[in-house]
Chain A
Amino acid sequence: MLELKDIRLSYGSTQVLNGVNLSVKRGDVASIIGPSGTGKTTLLKCINYLAKPSSGTIAFDQIQMDYQHADKTAIQAIRLRTAMVFQQFNVFKNMTVIQNVMDPLVVVQRKSREEAREIALRELERVGLSSKQDSYPSQLSGGQLQRTGIARALAVRPDVMLFDEPTSSLDPELVGEVLKVIKDVTSSGITSLLVTHEMQFAKSISNRIIFMDRGVVAADGSPTEIFDSPSSLRLAQFLNSEHSLQ
């Protein structure tokens, strides 16, 4: 359903993505792992054009785009069918929890406030934030902020969810509550791409693991293939270093 071909991107003189190929099937839960600074965040952002590749193509079901001729209609169509959860949460600070979830429905999808409210209440229930619906972001913990971010993303009914290290900015004791929500989301069958350093978690929820290294996809396979019989020295070293961190 989603296919990226030969994505290249550089910031100034640093090549960040050096020809990434990636295809995702409907229902895939694919975890992207790899060393810091490898371009994992950048790759996710290429999908919704928050990062602008210099070349490459994207196909999202029937939507096709060549990044050299980026076209607004295609970008918007892709944005309307994906939703992203950010490492830094990025909730809107001037809105309450429920307003954060409702706003895209009202502003972008032009739903009535009543309908938006109904959907928002349902999603907040799902992430366990019903009791905090009228709180402002300044009054919330990191875990609650991230669950707000997830509810906001779910509420737009995306075909693909993009998670960018959703627990990396959290205090250790708050990681669990967010992972639990993500597990619930991915097991509901929604196609997901998840950048993470939580190896055990990735193994338990994913049907695919993608190892990114130095701006390319260096390995791609089932959790068993990747974790139990790493195909390259770099991958083995990376898994080792992650393992010793945990």
Chain B
Amino acid sequence: MFDTDILLQDSREILGAVPVTLAMAFTTFVLSTIVGSLFALVEYRRIPVLRELVFAYKVVFKGVPMVIVIFLAYFGLPPALQFLLSSAGINFNAHETPNWVILVLAVTGCVAAFQAEIIKGALNAFDIGQSDAAYSLGYTSGQLFRRVLFPQVALTAIPDLTTSMMVIMKALSLGFAIEVVDIFAQSQLTAALNFYYLEAFVIAVVIYMVIAYIVTQIADRLEQALRVRT
């Protein structure tokens, strides 16, 4: 059914998009986890005003389809950035912001809302009596965080954070809408030239599956390594 030559040639082209896709996914993952953690801390510590803002943010970014957020960012982010930078007196042409940066920021914005939920859940699962114990022994809140809270919360959150990594990989394929070439977009382009659509998409599916497998394996190992310690 499939022509081997076509498969080989297409694979080479589509694999070429893997490093870029992974780099964008990893960047998005790191950024969204940082932002999500800050949101989760705001909610966990019940910081007034900020807490309401985070809540509103989550409603918006969980509710609006990601592709719309990407388009909004595509049209809205450069002028907004330009305005901010020039009012801060910085000379920089924001209209030249590369599309992949816009994509990463847009997906980060959406995924951060989900990361916040995951981390909030892990924080709520933390047995607060341990904080009493640490403070009673003279730990500062920073020492409590580093020695006790963070290691436990990270462990609890790992499985769900891994799922987020896959969500991000898939979300990046929406970048096609703003001409960012990831694995999916590359298979589109390749197929558009030689009309072997099925071949190109099957290759893309295989690549996504291999990546999913590797990510899951890494997370499992990491979790096991940490799990022994609790």
| Interface of A toward B, CB cutoff 8 Å | 45, 48, 50, 76, 79-80, 82-84, 86, 88-96, 103-104, 107-108, 136-138, 149, 152-153, 156, 162
Contacts and interface: CB of A to CB of B under 8 A. Distances in A.
B148 A83 contact: no
Contacts of A91: 130, 133
A83 B230 contact: no
B210 to A, nearest CB: 33
9 contacts: A48-B136, A50-B135, A90-B127, A93-B130, A108-B137, A136-B228, A137-B230, A138-B230, A156-B138
A83 B136 contact: yes
B151 interface: yes
A95 B151 CA distance: 10
Contacts of A90: 127, 129-130, 132-133
B152 A50 contact: no
Smallest CB-CB A-B distances: 10 pairs: A90-B133, A90-B129, A84-B136, A104-B137, A94-B151, A108-B138, A79-B138, A80-B138, A88-B129, A48-B136
B147 interface: yes
Interface residues of B, number: 20
B44 interface: no
Contacts, number: 71
Contact of B229 (A89, A94, A103): A94
B227 to A, nearest CB: 10
B149 to A, nearest CB: 9
B213 interface: no
B127 A93 contact: yes
B147 A103 contact: yes
Contact of B147 (A48, A50, A107, A156): A107
A48 B136 CA distance: 6
Contact of A94 (B135, B137, B143, B152): B152
B54 interface: no
A94 B154 CA distance: 11
B137 A83 contact: yes
Contacts of B135: 48, 50, 79
Most buried by B among A76, A79, A107, A156: A107
Contact of B230 (A48, A86, A94, A156): A94
Interface string B106-136: 0000000000000000000001011011111
A92 B130 contact: yes
Contact of B138 (A45, A89, A104, A136): A104
Nearest to A76: B138
Contacts of A138: 230
Contact of B136 (A82, A89, A93, A107): A82
A152 B148 CA distance: 15
B17 interface: no
B222 to A, nearest CB: 15
B143 A108 contact: yes
Nearest to A78: B138
Contacts of A86: 129, 132-133
A104 B132 contact: no
Nearest to A106: B147
Given A90-B129, A103-B147, A50 B230 contact: no
Nearest to B133: A90
B155 interface: yes
Contacts of B143: 107-108
Interface string B161-194: 0000000000000000000000000000000000
Contacts of B228: 136
B194 to A, nearest CB: 54
A153 B134 CA distance: 11
B132 to A, nearest CB: 5
B223 to A, nearest CB: 13
A217 B136 CA distance: 24
Given A48-B136, A108-B137, 5 more contacts: A80-B138, A94-B148, A108-B143, A136-B228, A153-B137
A45 B134 CA distance: 13
B230 to A, nearest CB: 5
B139 interface: yes
Most buried by A among B127, B137, B147: B137
A76 to B, nearest CB: 6
Contacts of A103: 147
A64 B133 CA distance: 23
Contact of B148 (A45, A50, A82, A92): A92
